[in-house]
Structure formats: structure tokens, C-alpha cells
Amino acid sequence: MDVTYLSDLERGKWNPSLAMIVDLARGLSVHPSELLIGLQVDQADATGTEDPILPERKRGGH
């Protein structure tokens, strides 16, 4: 994994794909669910046009 991409993930510039979460967990020798503990997700706003979960971040992987 590229160090720059990892840094961007840490700073919230990108949202990791599920495959990336699994790869990170394997590298850390933890279950992928442990990387999601404490994560809060907002309820989807059916009337809004912006991304209802993380509007300030770009979606997708590297």
C-alpha cells in the first residue's frame, strides 16, 4: 500500500473500500470489524442531494 494513500486515509481525504479495510486489518493482524468500532454513521437524508454519510469526503479508493 502506498504510504501517501495511507496518509490520505488517516486524514479523511478518501474513504477506504471494503477490500481495503480487509487488507488493512490483515496487515494489523486484527479482525476488520475492529477497525470500525466506534464509527458513527449519520442517517441518510432522503431529501438531500449530497452524500448523506460523509459529504465532506471523496468516495472510493485509490
What residue ranges do the domains of the chain occupy? 3-36
C-alpha cell at 46: 432522503
What pLDDT score was predicted for residue 45? Answer: 53
In this predicted structure, the answer to whether residue 23 has a pLDDT above a threshold of 70 is yes
pLDDT band at 57 (very low <50, low <70, confident <90, very high): low
- pLDDT mean across residues, the chain: 77
pTM score: 0.58
The 8-class DSSP code of residue 14 comes to B
CA–CA separation, 8 and 56 (whole Å): 14
